Structure 1
Amino acid sequence: MPQETAPAGDAVPEDLWRLRRSIDNIDAALVHMLAERFRVTREVGVLKAVHRLPPVDVSREEAQVAKLRGMADRAGLDADFAEDFIRRVMAEVVRQHGEIAAERRGS
Structure 2
Amino acid sequence: MLNTMTTEHHEPCADGETVIDSEGDWRDAETKQIVQRIEVLRQSIDNIDMAIVALLAERFKATTQVGVLKAEAGFAPADYTREEYQIDRLQRIAQGAGLDPQIALMYKEFVVTEAKKRHKRIADAGDDPGVLDIFA
TM-score normalized by structure 1?
A: 0.87
Structure 2: any 5+ residue segments left out of the alignment?
8-23, 27-31, 128-136
How many Å separate the matches in 2 of 1:80 and 1:14? 31
User: Relative contact order (C-alpha < 8 Å, sep 6+): which is higher?
Assistant: 1
Match of 2:86 in 1: 64
Higher-Rg member (1/2): 2
What is the percentage of aligned positions where both structures have the same residue?
39
Match of 1:5 in 2: 2
The count of corresponding residues between Structure 1 and Structure 2 is 102
Q: More displaced, 32-41 or 77-86?
A: 77-86
How many Å separate the matches in 2 of 1:72 and 1:20? 22
How many Å separate the matches in 1 of 2:113 and 2:77? 10
How many Å separate the matches in 1 of 2:94 and 2:3? 35
CA deviations on 1:36-68 (whole Å, 9 max, x unpaired) are 100010000000000101111100111011011
Match of 1:82 in 2: 104
Structure 1: any 5+ residue segments left out of the alignment?
none
Structure having the higher helix fraction is 1
Q: Over aligned residue pairs, what C-alpha RMSD do you find?
A: 1.6
